[in-house]
Amino acid sequence: MTRFVRDGFLKLEGLVPKELCDAFRAAYVADCTDDRCGRARLPVVPWGTPLLDAFDDSEVLSRVFSLPELAGAIHSLLGPRCKVDHHVMHIREPNQGASQHLHCDAMIDARDAAFDIQIMIYPQDVTREMGGTLVIPGSHTRKAGETSIARYQNLAGQVQLTGPAGTVLILHHNLWHAGRRNASNCVRAMYKLRLNPTGSQTGHWDMSGYDAAKAGAPKPLHSPATCKHDVQGQLSCFHPWADSRSAHLDIIQRTRLWRLLSGDEDFSVHHFLSRLENEPA
């Protein structure tokens, strides 16, 4: 959970088993060479449909989202009864001419901490030559409007995500990302589902080992390469694309997000947020 709060995404390699990946490609990807074909094969799901009611039992997607690991991750981040925002199939033809520009799938979001998630499923092996998805770790804390960040190229610390068939990415809705150019001779497919919470997002994950007093003990600021594997250590690091001053603002936003997910209203990293809240009567 600290990695999600710090980086804005989780990568679950090979989560969807091979037989489900094969069925997924046969149902939604086979013989398609563009987005329109793939999208036409998806079931129509109106905005606001509860995820549990979104897909008929006969749909491959129903089997995918019934996988315990994936269902558990969704529950941990959004809580029960989340709803569908939209879903879409992205299909990239071979020998593509250009990469997608950097963007986030949100207008400037005024929410302090509450968030949606986007689930990206890759039903085939994705190599670097095939492109995959580029993400900017930690960028989910920066408020931006969709394509206003398109001018940025090759940020320090960016990660091109590839992996075996069945790999699943779970993204904070505000994470900066882009589809990379498919330079291979194969069609590349990716399914994306955005989900919205319908209630509190607090305390729906395994917190049995969480010690609030220990989590609040300050640690030195540092880069991700040297951060410690504890709450304070993970959330006090800074990413290489951010200068040290603006990284403090990222840490404040992470603190808000951690408080939302943990319910620990006293948690703070280096008292950055606590100072802002100090308004004696």
Q: Rounded to an integer, what distance in angstroms lies between the CA atom of residue 107 and that of residue 111?
A: 11
Q: What is the CATH number of domain 2-196?
A: 2.60.120.620
pLDDT band at 12 (very low <50, low <70, confident <90, very high): very high
Angle at 191 between CA 2 and CA 94, to 5 degrees: 115
pLDDT digits (tens, 9 = 90+) for 148-189: 888 888 899 999 999 999 999 999 999 999 988 889 999 999
Edge-to-edge strand order for the sheet containing 177-179?
159-161, 133-135, 177-179
Residue range 232-263, pLDDT digits in tens:
888 988 899 998 888 889 999 999 999 999 99
Q: Give one word for 155, left, alpha or beta, with left for phi > 0 and alpha for psi -120 to 50.
A: beta
Q: Is the pTM of this model over 0.85?
A: yes
Q: Which tens digits make up the pLDDT trace of 198-233?
A: 999 999 999 998 888 888 777 666 655 556 678 888
pLDDT digits (tens, 9 = 90+) for 72-85: 999 999 999 999 99
CA 271 – CA 264 distance, rounded (Å):
14
Question: Taking the domains of the chain in order of start, what are their residue ranges?
Answer: 2-196, 212-277
